[in-house]
Structure 1
Amino acid sequence: MVKSLKNKYNLNMLGLIETKREVLTKYDVARLWGSSNAGWEFVESVGSAGGLLLMWDDGVFKVHNRYKGERWLCVKGVLTRTNFPCAFCLVYGAHGREAKKVVWEELSYVAGLCQVPLCFLGDFNEILHVEDRKGGASLPASAEEFKSWVHDMQLMDLSLTDRKYTWF
């Protein structure tokens, strides 16, 4: 699955989840990015499950710190044109309720470490609204807990503009 972000700073940030790769090389990243000026970080898969890859234009975003978990990775740095400090975190959420809570707790901790504006991208494997799930009639308990975590973290959910669901 591909998640990408492009904003007014002309920052291209590309996140790949479920890479199913235990090893990634600079050559692999340059081939995916289309040039050799890509900065990147990855979390290896466990066998054929999981794997995360976050790539960016090294001339636009300079990384100062990197943090990794089993289901997320975060890069903290500055946008070079404006010297704006920020962080980007790629997430592939857990499936079980208790495992989801562990990921959210880890992400809360990382946000506290970063102490800069933070953008999460990826898939939390959770919904915020009943209408986010086809055929849903009510929010499960884990969704209510996720909604509370999003509120506590003061996050803003950016809506999809071209589709109702990500899997179409």
Structure 2
Amino acid sequence: MEKVKERIGLANGLIVPSEGKSGGIALLWVKGLDVEIKSYTRSHIDAIVTDPVSGFKWRITGFYGNPDTNQRRESWNLLHFLNTQYQLPWVCLGDFNEILKASEKWGGPERPQHQMEGFRQVVHACGFQDMGFEGPEFTCSNRRSEEERIRLRLDRVLATTEWKEKYRDAKVLHVVESTSDHCAIILTNQQVRRRHKTRQFHFEATWLRHEKCREIIQDSWKDQAGLQSSSELVKGLKICTEGLKIWSQHDLGHVSKKIQEKRKILQDVVQADKDCSRGDEIDMLCKEINELLDDEEMRCNQRSRVQ
């Protein structure tokens, strides 16, 4: 998680580490934002945020419901307890590991009513309202074959009326993730803006996987074999650089751009897959995205060493 924190540029935060491969929760924020941590466990982080412009104070809780149904009551008791601590406009978000109604589950056995009722009761007691969402209806899938596939809406954003009235433009996005069986849940009141900048040439270690890279380098230097002067060296480097640039742009494309394009396709396919008939297509897209992510990780590691 520390690597993720560094990569996305969030200087401050609290990370509650996982035990082995399970659990773990974090709350990260940008430098200069006034955030006061009030309490935390392996299942939650509770904090007060002060708006830097208006001074408006509100509460945020990141929450993880116990995956064991026999211990789910402990999760609801924790939320009840947090509700008694102090009263501020409140937003609570995370993976609650439970649904509010039967229509939030597709496939598999029916959810017991008493199991959902515990969640409904604590949502009502805290004065929460569901923030709704844009994107696929379900946030979690076991990604098995069509007959065995189960999908649920386990992840959500809940907020009190006071918080919703203050942040009327806030919306929730369900974003399909190729590396997880859960969607990413994004709460935002802004349009995503992309910054474009001119990038210097970097030789990417991932290019070495391609035979064409070797051919371009060899062809670029075959007429500069003698290297009688520094000008010939510069000329050879320029020819090689331009050749690799053209090849990488046309044959490989920008890795980040390809990831975004394929993620958009994945998002659309998952949202359209109402009857779970496109599982193989979804799995293939996830595999392709993960391979591109591996390339991107290699590039990032290479550049961090250069810096």
Conservation of the 8 A alpha-carbon contact between 1:87 and 1:116: yes
The reply to whether residue 103 of structure 1 matches residue 79 of structure 2 is no
Question: Contact 2:64–2:95 (CA<8 Å) still a contact in 1?
Answer: yes
Q: Residue in 1 aligned with 2:43?
A: 71
| Preserved contact between residue 79 and residue 122 of structure 2 (Cα < 8 Å) | no
Identity of aligned residues (%): 24
**Distance change (3 Å), C-alpha of 1:52 and 1:127:** same
Partners of 2:11 and 2:90 lie apart in 1 by 20
Within the candidate set 40, 49, 54, 2:27 is matched to 54
Structure holding more strand per residue: 1
Once the two structures are superposed, the pairs formed by residues 119-130 of structure 1 within 5 Å of their partners are 119-130=91-102
Distance 2:42 2:70 in 1: 15
Structure 1 runs (4+) deviating above 6 angstroms are none
Distance 2:4 2:110 in 1: 43
Greater Cα shift, 62-71 or 85-94? 62-71
1:138-153 matched pairs, under 5 angstroms: 139-153=112-126
Matched, 1:30 2:2: no
The 1-side partners of 2:133 and 2:15 are apart by 25
Alignment TM-score, normalising by the size of structure 2: 0.42
SS in 2 for 1:156: strand
Number of residue pairs aligned between Structure 1 and Structure 2: 140
Q: Match of 2:138?
A: 165
Q: Which runs of 5+ in 1 are unaligned?
A: 1-23
Closer, same or farther in 2 for the Cα pair 1:45/1:138, shift >3 Å? closer
Pair member with larger Rg: 2
SS at 1:125's partner residue?
coil
Structure 1 residue 114: deviation in Å?
Answer: 3.5
Indicate if the aligned counterparts of 1:111 and 1:118 stay in contact, CA closer than 8 A: no
Change (3 A) 1:124 1:118: same
After TM superposition, the score normalised by the length of structure 1 is 0.73
Identify the residue that residue 155 of structure 1 maps to in structure 2. 128
Counterpart secondary structure, 2:21: coil
Distance in 2 of aligned mates of 1:58 and 1:88: 17
Higher helix share: 2
CA shift for structure 1 position 51: 0.5
Amino acid at match of 1:42: I
2: CA distance, partners of 1:147 / 1:161: 22
**Is the contact made by 1:43 and 1:52 (CA closer than 8 Å) also made in structure 2?**
yes
Q: RMSD of the TM alignment (CA)? A: 2.1
Q: Which residue of 2 aligns with 1:134?
A: 106
